[in-house]
Each structure stands twice: as structure tokens, then as C-alpha cells.
């Protein structure tokens, strides 16, 4: 689609033409703005062929570290016919001070032109497949719009001070568990992976997290490649409304169960949580639905069954991981992807297996490279599915790693934090030790008195008998 522009209309044509002329004119009037221009614009933003040629010539001169002025740029164009065009651009440029706004206007006009061109192409498409290819191409071109990539250190420090003086709380993802929020701070545009074996509860855990995020006001999309909407609804109600899952499955809910379920429906009526039945979806289709839904957070359950044209599973998972990571960055959307794992083998010496690590994520190590954070969940007792779950933060780019224990209530599909066993507070321990020292000192003093010893010889006066005589 790039390279050819859809017909511009009326005021749009005038605005785009003026922005192109002003960008060229600004560079000719003050070459110090060339760096800003070339970092934020591309030649495709110039619909006028002559102005595009001048832009490319100016860029060559600038890259050669020569002075960017009308004479040298006209010479780089290879023809004297460009001299009056450059002069006209300089004459029509209102001010060099607004060059950043002119560049932004160029990008805006290009996007509008691209939208129109895609619309014309879609109208001419003869098949759904052809229309889908046009739509995907449109998305890639828009995401590839050039942006400034370099930020001066002084500007970074200024921004840092502004952020530190801002009393607005950071917009971290709320996991629904204060202890997990404290350990794992995730902002938008991040790629997070949750790995666990089958039947350990990763889908139930992800559904609980998704509901908690939606409850805080986030727009959440849950792409389920194997769980249907009715099954997900059953788990949501069991978790949030405290209704036993067996009662839901067998349709034996009590009157009180119905009351609690109704309250949950009322409480979450405004919540923006969508479950997308995504069986057979590709990463591109997940991205399309994410854009269409305007989701701030998406869950993908799970990466190993996202469709891809690769010829083997390892390459398939690798491609999906890269696609989801790029999706998070481009759309500024937090992506939480679930992954199966390859269980570690038992030790031949101890007969026990080691704890899961991020290297156990199945099929591809690309996930470990792409993810900003990785959570691994496993049974505390690998032989007992009713045992607690151990949640390990195996990778955390913005903080320390660690682990915590979760209780899984299978009856209600609910995970809750289990505080670790702790010794009495250190202040109580010190007070107890001080008391023991005092008691020890008192006992030693009593023993010394009993023995008549006080660090030196002890004397006392003898009392006379009844006759007044001493005993010797």
C-alpha cells in the first residue's frame, strides 16, 4: 500500500502540501532541525514527487555531514529545476520553531491517506482471504510509522524528576493479590508468561487474574483456545460468587447460590472483560481482535496451540512468542501468555524431581528471551493434586525473583495467598532473651549467697549465749 497515496481531498490536500513544504523549508532555513526531521519522518510521508526527491537529497547531504543549505541540496538533487522549488518552500515556511508539529502533521496525513487507500483496496477485493491480507498489511504499515528513538540523557533526567514529583500512583497491573502486586510490578506494553503442567490450574489462575484486572477498570480480553465461554462462566461464578463448582455443573444451586451469583452479575455489569473463543486463531488474528476490542490487557491460553504456518512445533512456538512480544510493544498492551511445560525428570539418586524453572517452558526457549516476567506454578507435592501450589517468579526484569505459596480451592476455582511460617517477631525474641538473662543472674546471685561467697571472704559477728559468754 505504501508508495502510492489515495486521492487527497479539499482541505486535506492543502494541509498535507503545506506541511511538506514547511518541513523542507525549515531544514533549508536552519539545518539544526535536520536531526529531528529525519528521526521522525520518512520519504513516504511526501506525496509530492519533487518534494520527496528534495527530502531524500537533503538526507544524503546530512548523512555525509555536509552543510544542509539550498545550494548543496539543489546540487544533490542533480538538476537546477529543483532550485525554485526549494526557494518557494523557504518562502512559504511560517517559522522553523514549529518544525516538530509539521512533522507530526505529515505522519497524520499519511495515516489518513493509508486508510483511504486500504478502503479502496478492500472494496476491490474479490475474496475474504484477499481482504484479510489487505487488512493485515494495513496494520503492519501503520505500526511501522517512524518515531523518534533517541532520547537525550538530560531529557531522561528531567522526565525522571517530573515522574518522581508526580503524586499520581503508578499504573501497575493489579494481579488481585497484594503480595503478588508487591513482588511483580508490570506496566503496560509488557509480555508475561505463566508456565505450568496440565491440571495444575493455570487456566483457573489466569481467569481469576483477568477478572481482578477487569474489576479495577482495565479492558481485558481473554483469548481461550480450548475453554468455551460457558465453561469459563462457570469458573468465574464459582470463584467470585462463592458458589461450589459441582453445584453449578449439576445445576443444583441453592437459593443463596443464586443470590450470590446475581450480586456478582450486578457488581461486574460495567466491567470490560471479554472471553474470545479463539480455537484455531493465529497470532495475527489475536492482534486484529486486540485492536478491534481496544484491550489494555490480553490473556492467551495457551501459546503452544496458537496456529502458525511453521513446519515444526518449536519454530511455531518461536514465531508465536515473537509475534506476541511485538504485539505488546506496538499496541502498548500487556500480554499474559500461558504455556505448557516439560516436567523435570526424577533424580536417580534421591527419586525426587527438581522445581520448575523457566527453561522448562515447552517447545521453545524463545519465550524465556521475549518475556519481561515469567511465573512458574507447580504442586508443592507432585504426587498430590490437592496440595498447595508454589508460584515462582522465575524472571522479573523490574525486580527480584522469588516464590510464594498459594492455596487452591478446587471447589471454587480460587487461589489465595498462604503466608509463610514465621518465628516470633525479633522484638519479642529480644525481650524473652533479656528476661532469661535476668533470671540467670538472679539465680547465680542466690547460689552465691547460699554458699557464702560474694567474690571475697565473708565475716559476721558471733552472738553471746544466755549467760553472756562467748562460745570459746
Residue range 369-421, pLDDT digits in tens: 888 899 999 888 888 888 899 999 888 888 888 889 999 888 888 898 888 76
Confidence of residue 90 (pLDDT cuts 50, 70, 90): very high
Name the residue among 118, 101, 84, 124 with its Cα closest to residue 4: 118
Mean pLDDT, the chain, integer: 81
Q: Which residues contact 418 (CB under 8 A, 6 or more apart)?
A: 388, 404, 405, 406, 407
Q: How far apart are the C-alpha atoms of 371 and 389, rounded to whole Å?
A: 22
> Domain spans of the chain?
10-143, 178-418
Bridge partners, residue 365, by sequence? none
Residue range 243-282, pLDDT digits in tens: 888 888 888 888 888 888 888 888 888 888 888 888 888 8
Confidence of residue 82 (pLDDT cuts 50, 70, 90): very high
Instruction: Classify residue 56 as exposed, middle or buried by CB count within 10 Å of its CB (0-12, 13-18, 19+).
Output: middle
pLDDT for 165 equals 79
pLDDT beyond 50 at 6: no
Q: Give this prediction's pTM.
A: 0.58
pLDDT beyond 90 at 453: no
Backbone Cα Rg of the chain: 36
Name the DSSP letter for residue 306.
S
Q: Which residues contact 226 (CB under 8 A, 6 or more apart)?
A: 279, 301, 302, 305
Name the residue among 98, 99, 120, 87 with its Cα closest to residue 4: 120
Helices 229-240, 255-267: axis angle to 10 degrees equals 100
For the residues 206-220, what does the mean pLDDT come to? 90
Name the residue among 158, 75, 136, 471 with its Cα closest to residue 285: 136
The CATH architecture of the domain made up of 178-418 is: 3-Layer(aba) Sandwich (3.40)
Confidence of residue 463 (pLDDT cuts 50, 70, 90): low
Residue range 153-176, pLDDT digits in tens: 677 777 777 777 777 777 788 888
Helix (H) or strand (E) holding 386: none
Q: Which fold has domain 10-143?
A: DNAb Helicase; Chain A (1.10.860)
Confidence of residue 140 (pLDDT cuts 50, 70, 90): low
Residue range 429-451, pLDDT digits in tens: 667 777 777 888 788 787 777 77
Amino acid at each position: 500500500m505504501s508508495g502510492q497515496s489515495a486521492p487527497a481531498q479539499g482541505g486535506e490536500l492543502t494541509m498535507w502540501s503545506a506541511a511538506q513544504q514547511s518541513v523542507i523549508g525549515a531544514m533549508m532555513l536552519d539545518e539544526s532541525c535536520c536531526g529531528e526531521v529525519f528521526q521522525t519522518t520518512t520519504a513516504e510521508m511526501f506525496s509530492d514527487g519533487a518534494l520527496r526527491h528534495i527530502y531524500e537529497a537533503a538526507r544524503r547531504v546530512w548523512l555525509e555531514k555536509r552543510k544542509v543549505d539550498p545550494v548543496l541540496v539543489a546540487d544533490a538533487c542533480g538538476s537546477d529545476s529543483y532550485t525554485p522549488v526549494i526557494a518557494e518552500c523557504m518562502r512559504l515556511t511560517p517559522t522553523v520553531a514549529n518544525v516538530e508539529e509539521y512533522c507530526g502533521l505529515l505522519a497524520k496525513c499519511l495515516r489518513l491517506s493509508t486508510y483511504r487507500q486500504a478502503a479502496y483496496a478492500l472494496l476491490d477485493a474479490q475474496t475474504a482471504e484477499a481482504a484479510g491480507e489487505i487488512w493485515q498489511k494495513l496494520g503492519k504499515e501503520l505500526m511501522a510509522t517512524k518515531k523518534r528513538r533517541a532520547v537525550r540523557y538530560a531529557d531522561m533526567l528531567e522526565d525522571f524528576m517530573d515522574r518522581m514529583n508526580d503524586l499520581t500512583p503508578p499504573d501497575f497491573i493489579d494481579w488481585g493479590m497484594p503480595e503478588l502486586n508487591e513482588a511483580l510490578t508490570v506496566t503496560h506494553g509488557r509480555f508475561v508468561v505463566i508456565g505450568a503442567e496440565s491440571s495444575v490450574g493455570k487456566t483457573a489462575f489466569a481467569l481469576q487474574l483477568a477478572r481482578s484486572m477487569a474489576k479495577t477498570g482495565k479492558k481485558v480480553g481473554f483469548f481461550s483456545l480450548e475453554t468455551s465461554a460457558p465453561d469459563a462462566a462457570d469458573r468465574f461464578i464459582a470463584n467470585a460468587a462463592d458458589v461450589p463448582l459441582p453445584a453449578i455443573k449439576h445445576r443444583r444451586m441453592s437459593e443463596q447460590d443464586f443470590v450470590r451469583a446475581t450480586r456478582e452479575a450486578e457488581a461486574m455489569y460495567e466491567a470490560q472483560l471479554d472471553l474470545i473463543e479463539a480455537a484455531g486463531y493465529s497470532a495475527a488474528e489475536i492482534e486484529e481482535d486486540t485492536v478491534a476490542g481496544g484491550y489494555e490487557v490480553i490473556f492467551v491460553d495457551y501459546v503452544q496451540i496458537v496456529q502458525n504456518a511453521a513446519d515444526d512445533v518449536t519454530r511455531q512456538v518461536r514465531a508465536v512468542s515473537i509475534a506476541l512480544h511485538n504485539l505488546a510493544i506496538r499496541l502498548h498492551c500487556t500480554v499474559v501468555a500461558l504455556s505448557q511445560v516439560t516436567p523435570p525428570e526424577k533424580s536417580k539418586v534421591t527419586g525426587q524431581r527438581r522445581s520448575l524453572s523457566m527453561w522448562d517452558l515447552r517447545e521453545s526457549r524463545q519465550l524465556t528471551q521475549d518475556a519481561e516476567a515469567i511465573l512458574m506454578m507447580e504442586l508443592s507435592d507432585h504426587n498430590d493434586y490437592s496440595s498447595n501450589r508454589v508460584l515462582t517468579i522465575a524472571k522479573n526484569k523490574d525486580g527480584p525473583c522469588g516464590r510464594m505459596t498459594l492455596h487452591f480451592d478446587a471447589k471454587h476455582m480460587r487461589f489465595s495467598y498462604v503466608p509463610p511460617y514465621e518465628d516470633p517477631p525479633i522484638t519479642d525474641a529480644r525481650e524473652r532473651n533479656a528476661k532469661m538473662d535476668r533470671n540467670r543472674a538472679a539465680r547465680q546471685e542466690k547460689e552465691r549467697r547460699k554458699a557464702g561467697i560474694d567474690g571475697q571472704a565473708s565475716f559476721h559477728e558471733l552472738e553471746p549465749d544466755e549467760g553472756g559468754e562467748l562460745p570459746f
